[in-house]
Amino acid sequence: MKQQEAQNISLSDYPIFSGTDVELSRRALSRIFNPVFLEPGKGAGSFQFSVRGVQLPHLWISSLSYWGNPVLGPVDPSDYHTLQVVPSGSFQFDIDGQKMSANAAQALMISNGQRVRLQPADNSQCLSLVVKDKDLRDVISTWVGHTKIPPIEFRKQLTMTNSGVISFLSYLHTIVDDLDRSSNLLQMPAAVASLENMLLTYMLCELEHNLVDFLNKTSAEAGSNQVREIEEYLEANSSKAISMKLLTQVTGHSTRSIYRAFKRYRDYTPMEFLRNVRMRLARKKLLHAIPGSMVTTIAYECGFTHLGRFSNEYKRCFGERPSETLQRSIREKKVYVSGEECG
């Protein structure tokens, strides 16, 4: 049977499985979600399944497409948190006996320990993010300084017009776009760790869950003075490896407190500020570059580890690619030197 294609397929360079065999499809799903059951829909069209995905150190990001209205879900209650974003088609969920749906207007967040059963409509696709509960709790422990963390449960229904959901999904899609543009990203452990840390930070800070008050009470709230101090620290150390964990150690404030203070007083995140600082520094270096300089070297010197993403963001900021800035700068210096020599 000819392979059908759903819209908005991403992660195309990371195939895991595609076909009509139910058992092989079940095994592919079990690699991502732990053991699952999978049954073709009764009286539906021919079953077909396709999955692409990337396993990072602490999470899975997958694009899944279904045909034939199958019924599936984890065999046991999950030990992970799962986000299901549905760009095309629709899904019917049963989460601990509660009926819910996911579609282009509404995503779903399934929390650790919940029993799940779902049925996608024919020719439906979802972008799935899977985070182990243990890994998420480790992040929270780092924030609060101890391991006595209550169970975390996210709000199940995520409206796609909610500002927090928009912010979180924007960052998730940034990571997916980076993976689509360059598989070399997976060969950069420091870059992957930074992306993961920021994604988990966005998840805990932007999505609604039962530990919001718990996290807010764990440390003194950062104020505008602390925001400026952090900005000064980032400006002075922009070429170094910076993480939210490091900022908590330097300032004594929790990740959530820092994040909320930046959003309140600046309307951007610490990492967005750091990226802009690094971008201005790269611009300055490129404008004053000498013959023999390379974009790659300058990007690394400024703290950028993903060259494709650096080039695209640089063009968005300054209207030209970094290579164009460098070439013009060197060309102008050659003209200037030539003029001096001619008297």
The whole-number mean pLDDT for each consecutive block of 10 residues of the chain, a chain of 343 residues, reads: 44 93 95 92 81 92 94 91 95 95 95 93 94 89 79 95 91 85 71 80 90 72 82 86 76 77 87 90 90 87 81 90 90 56 33
Q: Which long-range contacts (CB under 8 A, 24 or more apart) does 324-328 make?
A: 325/283, 325/286, 325/287, 326/286, 326/289, 326/293, 326/294, 326/295, 326/298
What is the enclosing helix (H) or strand (E) of 36?
strand 36-39
Say whether 337 sits in a helix, a strand or coil: helix
> Any idea what DSSP says for residue 45?
S
Residue that has been written with the tokens 């002075």 in this structure: 236
Q: How far is residue 230's CA from residue 258's CA, in Å, rounded to a whole number?
A: 9
* Cα separation values, 20 from 12, 88, 128, 302, Å: 19, 20, 21, 48
Tokens of 38: 């999978």
> Any idea what DSSP says for residue 266?
T
86 touches 100 (CB < 8 A): no
pTM confidence score: 0.72
| Second CATH level (architecture) for the domain 279-343 | Orthogonal Bundle (1.10)
Q: Which residue, 175, 61, 51, is CA-closest to 120?
A: 51
Structure confidence at residue 18 (pLDDT): 96
Q: Which residue, 25, 103, 116, 99, is CA-closest to 64?
A: 25
Collect all residues with Cβ–Cβ distance below 8 Å to 258 and sequence separation of at least 6. Answer: 222, 226, 230, 244, 247, 248, 251, 270
Q: Where are the domains of the chain?
A: 15-187, 279-343
CB atoms within 10 A of CB 199: 21
Structure confidence at residue 218 (pLDDT): 56
> Any idea what DSSP says for residue 187?
G
Written out in words, the top-level CATH class of the domain with range 15-187 is: mainly beta
Q: How far is residue 107's CA from residue 172's CA, in Å, rounded to a whole number?
A: 13
Tokens of 125: 């696709």
What is the enclosing helix (H) or strand (E) of 160?
none
Q: Which residue, 47, 56, 1, is CA-closest to 26?
A: 47
Tokens of 222: 């950062």
